[in-house]
Structure 1
Amino acid sequence: MKNLSYILICILIVLTASCAHAADSSYHLTAKKGLLDLRSASIGEDEISFSGEWAFYWQQLLTPDSLEHFKPRYTAFPALWNNTIINGKTLPAKGYATYALTVLLPPDSKPLAINIPDVYSSYRLYVNGKVIAENGKPGRSADDSQPWWSNEMRTIAPGTDTLRIVWQIANFSHAKGGAAQTISIAEKDSVIYRKDQSTAFSFLLTGCLFMGGMFFLGLYIFGRYDKTLLLFSLFCITYSYRIVGADPYSLHTFIQGTPWWITTRLEYLSLYFSEFLFTLYVLNLYPAQASRAVSSVIAVICALFCVSVFVLPAYIFTMLIKVFLGFSLVNMLYTLYVFSSAVRKKMTGSVYSLGGAVILVLVFVYIGLAYIQQFKANEAFVIIGYILFFFLQSLILSYRFAHNLKKAKRVAEKALLAKSQFLSTMSHEIRTPLNAVIGLTHLMLKNDPRKDQEEELKIMLFSANNLLSIVNDILDYNKIEAGKIHFECIETDMHSIVKNIAGGFKTYAEEKGIQLECSTDETLDVTVLADPTRMSQVLTNLVHNAIKFTARGSVKITVAAEQRNTNTITLRFTVKDSGIGIPAEKQRIIFDQFTQADSSTSRSFGGTGLGLSICKSILEKQGVTMQLVSEEGIGTEFYFVQTFPVCKKIAQDKKPVTVSNARPLEGISILLVEDSEFNIVVATRFLQSWGAEIEVAQNGQEALDKFNEAKHQLILMDLHMPVMDGRDATIELRKQGTKVPIIALTASIYADENDKVIACGANDVVIKPFEPESLRNKLLHYLKIAS
């Protein structure tokens, strides 16, 4: 706030100095009876104005040769005809006249130049009998006249001691007539410098405003579609024309062929429409502080002024400018009130908005005073004021954009967290009943069902596993998207992985009449350090897709060693099919999430379209690229090449370990902590079939009450339960000094969540739905360690 006060004080000082300079520059030397004697003056860098009493010939367009035939009147110059009284009557704005002045210059003066302002609304200027400048075409009627506005500069020939000026001025188009500013003279270099400086300032500020407007328009289009950004960008773009299209009319110097009726309408329209946009901008910037009714009224009035530019002749709509300036001052005061209210409410960036509004009011008041009092405004002050205003408004919008971006980020993070929590919950809710379905199906298949029942049970088991695969795909993709995927680095036998995958899909392939082949390089005689779970997941997805999209022929899985040294081995994994193939134009999109080659494929073959996306993401996380070769109607080949650290040689006589004892848990007492009746039935049936004695607790507190370390040799602990969950129960058991192995049962597949379970004191985690053999082997492993 202190910085803002300092800026405003500086602006007031500059404003006072500018007004003083404007006033002083008008009264250095004064013409008397059509003569300005500068012979004793020192003409230097400061301009000397030709103001004073000029010879005046109303309703006459005289040339230098014809002046001697007419008797002049003398009148104050510069002055608008609307403010000039002749014979007790105020002159009308429409008409034509000739002004004459003789200027005596000092001898041996430096090279000089005169600065010629625009007039209302056309002129022809003679100096020493020659036409040196012309704006439009002055005539005796509207048909003969052609209006135009531009500021001109002309040099004076060296050695000139007298300037006989004849200035023809005509107006039939504007609400004002005559000259608002006078000619001035100074050193040539100084006049040229000021002219170029004025033009450069105008185009520099215009460029800054236009590019700033385009920048905020880009933020609106590619950002969050904040309407405030759109309104401010349009305001900047619209007002940028006003900088070069209004006094000092820098743009007109370069586009003199454009009709005056177009340029003057653009000048006024840019002013009216800018105020319309700024009003809506203020309303959208602080809607709680601005009155929608008041803002709507102001906007409608601005719109009416805009319409007047199109439907009314220039003489009429230019007459309304004083009304608009008064209205604009009221609007500025209202804007100050809105911004002040925002400051009191401590709204985001409101101090900058208020500071910018105060500066803009000062600039407008200054321009209005220059317009009414007919002095030339200091361009430097006006430009600095505009720059400060637009800078402060840009600052508040940038701050607002950054604030909204941070807010959107927080909302997105909350949404991502909510999504993760939702998927975690749905994982538990879906996988828990699936555990019962898959488990009971396994049990029924072990009970020697009839042949027809066995086929139906296998179909049911396949469908349940397919549903589980879909759930896993969705959860896996969410994990990858959230950056929660972790890779293990353990000893892995690639032969076993490929053979197990081929064995798992053997029945599926046979049902479709497809030959499933498996080939591993004989030179691959070592184990490697890899993540067997993720490798299996990638190959399983590829093989499943290959079988699904192959109606006849074969699917072949190949692992070949491409490069090898003492420490590493590079393997090429290939899954090739003779299926439908993928069109060339679709091959780039099939790795996108939820995408298949076309909608008919999705209807015919089903699936989430996540499998390939997951494979691609898993491999990319390890620095590996999935490759594709396919021809429509011929088949598809997916392959990738990955390098692994070598672990050790594979024993040639290694045989798979089988469990010969049908009841390996004979005499083992297990405390099963589970709240789902279906899962209790499934787990109990399996455990009892392996010979274990089971005691059931349906929540954590009940488990604490029932646990007997002398009796129970192992605890199977579900995590999500009423009264007390599995984590708290595990923590409490470990606090009591229990050394019995605790294996957690969970439906969550998130590694970080399962790591927390281990941190609570559990020995291991079994994910539901579980494979019976996997659960049995894990139980035997921890029972062996405990014994």
Structure 2
Amino acid sequence: MQKIKTGIAFLLLLFFFGCSETANQSESKKGILDLTDFDIHTKTTPLIGEWEFYWNEFLDPSQKSSNLKYVFPRPWNQMEADGKPLSRKGFATYRLNVILSGPADDLVLQVPLLHTAYRLYVDGELVHENGKASPDPNIHKPSYKTQILSIKPKSNRFQIQLNISNYSHRICGMKEIIHLGTFRQINKEYQRKELLTLLGVSWLAFLGAFNICLYYLRRDLKRSLYLGLFCFAVMLPIVTLRDTRILFNLFSDEYCYLIIRLSFVCLPLNLYLGGTVLYSVVADKRFKKTFIVFTYITGIYAFLMLALPDYYLTLVSIPFETGANSMIVCSILYLLFLAFKGHTEVRIYLISFFFAGIIIVHESLFYYNYANKRDWLFFLGLSFFLLPLTSLMFYLVMDAFRKEESAMRELLKSKEDLELRVKDRTGELENANRWKTNLISLLSHDLQSPLVGLKFLLHNIQSKVSPKKEDDVDKLIQMGIGGVDNSIQLIRHLLSISRFDSDSVRLRYEFFSSDDLLEYVNKEVALSSSSKNINIILEDHHPSFIFADKTLLGEVICNLINNSIKFSNANSDLYLIHKREDFKDKFYVIDFGMGMTEDQIRIFNTEGADLQKKAGTLGEVGTGFGLSLSRSILQAHNGSISIVPGRKQGSEFLIQIPVGEKIILIVENSDLYRKECAEEFRKYNWLVIESANGSEALSHLKQFTPHLLLTDVEMPVLGGIELVHEWAAMAEGMNLPILMMSSSAPLFSDKEFLKKEGIDHWVLERFSKLVPVPELVKKMIECLESYRQSKTFLK
């Protein structure tokens, strides 16, 4: 607060001491400016003091008139004739005789806006005409351009004459001051003002864009949007109505009225935007009707400024501009009322309006000729007006984010607690389901053993029965063997289903060689292949280690081979081929049997539908479960199954599973959150292993080392910090990047926490679970990539 008071006092000192710029300048008397004691080549001088003034006369430079008055430069409607103020619409002649101390060479005049058209003569010669100056309002055409005009007086004593007409603005005549000096001095001063204007506009553009960005961060904070638009709306009057008149100077006088309209429209627009910012502070319903009336007034004003003919623009703008002061007074009263009601943030608005009041007082003093225009004071006051409001918006946005972050932490904590309660409540159901699954498994094993024995007995009987005498018996035995095969296959599927749907639904990953897998499959299907004397040829083109569930993957391959045997002729060949291509392990099962139609292949590959059941070459009938179960197992491995089209004889099945190039172990006790993270990592082609707690994760780490470990900090059995310490004790120099996540972690970097827990050597970063999962996973991958560029990544 003390700093604010000091700033206000400093600004007031600048304001009051800054109103005496011309105190030490030479002034003209009786229309004569004596500069014999002034070196015009070292310093510019304003042409202030008494000018000859001829009301309602357009005199030639050599013409005399008895209607002479001596006036200081000011709008002529502030003068009187016969006790009455002069009309703002009219024309007049101004004259000034200048006496220099030396030669009058290399001189220029900096002519500001003279309202609103003029002719400039020096020693009787026309130097420049701005717009179309004329006593006839039909001929008069305004121009708002500022000029730097080179003059060539005939001697060190010369006359300056201005013929000015006005029919289009409430300010009339010579309001702003003309300066005389050399081109270098005048141009330097003009460029300084132009630079100040451009800096002010750039500063407003920055504040406007900053406030609009705050709105996009917090859509509920519409005040920030209105304040940003207010900053942009203030820019147009600055580039049109300040000294440099940048916009008027850029375009020809044909667009003069269009630019005037736009600058007039900015007043109601700024009033509306500023009023909306104030009303939205509290949005008190008692002031709603007042705000609606205020909106209608500014809307009507803006409409009139766009729709009225040029001639009426000034007539209509004067009462509205006067009414704007009343609106500002009402706004201050509204803020005082809110402050009285205890709204603390209103103090910021009162401070801003104090600086706005300084600007208004300064501009009013300038308008009534009690002060000179100070552009730097205007921009300084405008900055002090907007900065507190922008700072307040920034604080509100940051405060909202802090509250939202706190609420999200509580929500996430509640979500985790709810998940734990739901998990406990569903325990009985899971136990019942586990009993069901175990029962299926038990029955399947009990059924499988006698069926295998029965099949072996039937084979023995078949081999001892004479084919010439017992054809019917042989046929019956063959049917029995087929039925037993079908039953055994069904039981194997039941065993796989019981494992795949039970409590151990997560795949049991392990490293194994492709040679071992092929030998295991060949052994499993040996009995089936021998029944038709089918020769299974194994080809391992790329012997390698595979990271998958060996039992389930072997079950899939066995199922496909048994399927191929069923549709193959006796004494034929069947190929089982393994290749590693495109970061995938590929298994081909190729037979030369009955084959499939192109439509069947298309339906299986594109629509994912299973093939219709049909009898094999010896009338064998399948269960219908095999391919469906195989597809589910492969999808759990992020793999696929398809039929290779284009074969003329037989079928070719293709199994593909991704090579474990990127393996991540996710340790998280929340099932929903863990699965959400797992799905997101799979989008980046990661092979995901899931663990519900640190103890389970340690069991995995003892069997294999993943390429990335992602663990939660807070877990019931073994927390993330304890897990890292346990891994560090057993790592033996192995390089494993570790990332942590927590609902209590900050949104930004959390290196201090890692150092405090003594795990910064192992853990790269701790991330906040408040961040949406897709964005969180993206940040984790970026963090890992940065690590990979600086360290050796485990291959």
Tell me the TM-score normalised to structure 1 length: 0.60
Which of the residues 50, 54, 57 maps onto 1:57? 54
Matched residues in 1 for 2:432 and 2:580: separation? 42
Q: What's the counterpart of residue 359 of structure 1? A: 355
**Is 1:231 matched with 2:194?**
no
Moved more, 130-139 or 105-114: 105-114
Matched residues in 2 for 1:400 and 1:553: separation? 74
Which of the residues 268, 271, 276 maps onto 2:264? 268
Give 1:278-317 correspondences, 5 Å limit.
Answer: 278-287=274-283, 291-312=287-308, 313-317=312-316
- Distance apart, 1:417 and its partner CA: 3.6
- Distance apart, 1:322 and its partner CA: 4.7
Query: 1:677-725 deviations in whole A, cap 9, x for unaligned?
Result: xxxxxxxxxxxxxxxxxxxxxxxxxxxxxxxxxxxxxxxxxx9xxxxxx
- The residue type equivalent to 1:203 in the other structure is L
Figure out how many residues of one structure are paired with residues of the other and give that number.
581
Which of the residues 84, 106, 113 maps onto 1:89? 84
Q: What's the counterpart of residue 116 of structure 1? A: 111
Which of the residues 386, 391, 406 maps onto 2:402? 406
RMSD: 5.6
- The residue type equivalent to 2:353 in the other structure is A
Query: 2:142, 2:253 within 8 Å by CA — same for their partners in 1?
Result: no
Matched residues in 2 for 1:281 and 1:402: separation? 19
Query: 1:580, 1:635 within 8 Å by CA — same for their partners in 2?
Result: no
Q: What's the counterpart of residue 391 of structure 1? A: 387
- Distance apart, 1:380 and its partner CA: 1.2
Query: 2:74, 2:175 within 8 Å by CA — same for their partners in 1?
Result: yes
Matched residues in 2 for 1:286 and 1:235: separation? 19
Q: Secondary structure at the match of 2:28?
A: coil
**Is 1:754 matched with 2:717?**
yes
**Is 1:247 matched with 2:246?**
no
Matched residues in 2 for 1:59 and 1:131: separation? 20
Query: 2:349, 2:389 within 8 Å by CA — same for their partners in 1?
Result: yes
Q: What's the counterpart of residue 30 of structure 2? A: 33
Matched residues in 1 for 2:519 and 2:422: separation? 29
- Distance apart, 1:493 and its partner CA: 4.0
Give 1:729-740 correspondences, 5 Å limit.
Answer: none
Query: 1:335, 1:357 within 8 Å by CA — same for their partners in 2?
Result: no
Matched residues in 2 for 1:632 and 1:15: separation? 89
Q: Secondary structure at the match of 2:102?
A: coil
Query: 2:541, 2:577 within 8 Å by CA — same for their partners in 1?
Result: no
Question: Structure 1 regions of 5+ residues with no counterpart?
Answer: 477-487, 507-516, 563-569, 584-604, 617-625, 646-718, 720-748, 760-787
Matched residues in 1 for 2:48 and 2:233: separation? 36
Query: 1:557, 1:573 within 8 Å by CA — same for their partners in 2?
Result: no
Q: Secondary structure at the match of 1:178?
A: coil
Question: Structure 2 regions of 5+ residues with no counterpart?
Answer: 452-483, 526-535, 569-574, 590-600, 607-627, 647-651, 664-691, 693-711, 723-795
Change (3 A) 1:429 1:105: same
Q: What's the counterpart of residue 654 of structure 1? A: none
Matched residues in 2 for 1:404 and 1:541: separation? 56
Q: Secondary structure at the match of 1:319?
A: helix
- The residue type equivalent to 2:267 in the other structure is L
Q: What's the counterpart of residue 9 of structure 2? A: 9
Change (3 A) 1:35 1:402: same
Q: What's the counterpart of residue 324 of structure 1? A: 323
Change (3 A) 1:215 1:115: same
Q: What's the counterpart of residue 368 of structure 1? A: 364
User: 1 or 2 for the larger relative contact order (CA 8 Å, sep ≥6)?
Assistant: 1
Matched residues in 2 for 1:41 and 1:188: separation? 17
Q: Secondary structure at the match of 2:406?
A: helix
- Distance apart, 1:275 and its partner CA: 2.1
- Distance apart, 1:553 and its partner CA: 11
Matched residues in 2 for 1:271 and 1:610: separation? 71
Q: Secondary structure at the match of 2:190?
A: helix
Change (3 A) 1:94 1:219: same
Matched residues in 2 for 1:213 and 1:561: separation? 59
Give 1:564-583 correspondences, 5 Å limit.
Answer: 573-574=585-586
**Is 1:179 matched with 2:142?**
no
Matched residues in 1 for 2:153 and 2:539: separation? 100
- Distance apart, 1:244 and its partner CA: 0.9
- Distance apart, 1:135 and its partner CA: 2.4
- Distance apart, 1:144 and its partner CA: 0.3
- Distance apart, 1:218 and its partner CA: 3.9
Q: What's the counterpart of residue 215 of structure 2? A: 220
Q: Secondary structure at the match of 1:64?
A: coil
Q: What's the counterpart of residue 195 of structure 1? A: 190
Matched residues in 2 for 1:354 and 1:500: separation? 86
Q: Secondary structure at the match of 2:716?
A: helix
Q: What's the counterpart of residue 133 of structure 2? A: 138
- Distance apart, 1:325 and its partner CA: 4.5
Matched residues in 2 for 1:299 and 1:18: separation? 37
Matched residues in 1 for 2:657 and 2:61: separation? 95
Q: Give % identity.
A: 18
Change (3 A) 1:87 1:523: closer
Query: 2:144, 2:248 within 8 Å by CA — same for their partners in 1?
Result: yes
Q: Secondary structure at the match of 2:171?
A: coil
Matched residues in 2 for 1:541 and 1:221: separation? 55
- Distance apart, 1:237 and its partner CA: 1.1
Tell me the TM-score normalised to structure 2 length: 0.60
Which of the residues 63, 69, 75 maps onto 1:74? 69
Query: 1:69-109 deviations in whole A, cap 9, x for unaligned?
Result: x3341131313222222233322111122222222222247
Q: Secondary structure at the match of 1:752?
A: coil
- Distance apart, 1:582 and its partner CA: 8.7
- Distance apart, 1:46 and its partner CA: 5.8
- Distance apart, 1:163 and its partner CA: 2.8
- Distance apart, 1:378 and its partner CA: 0.8
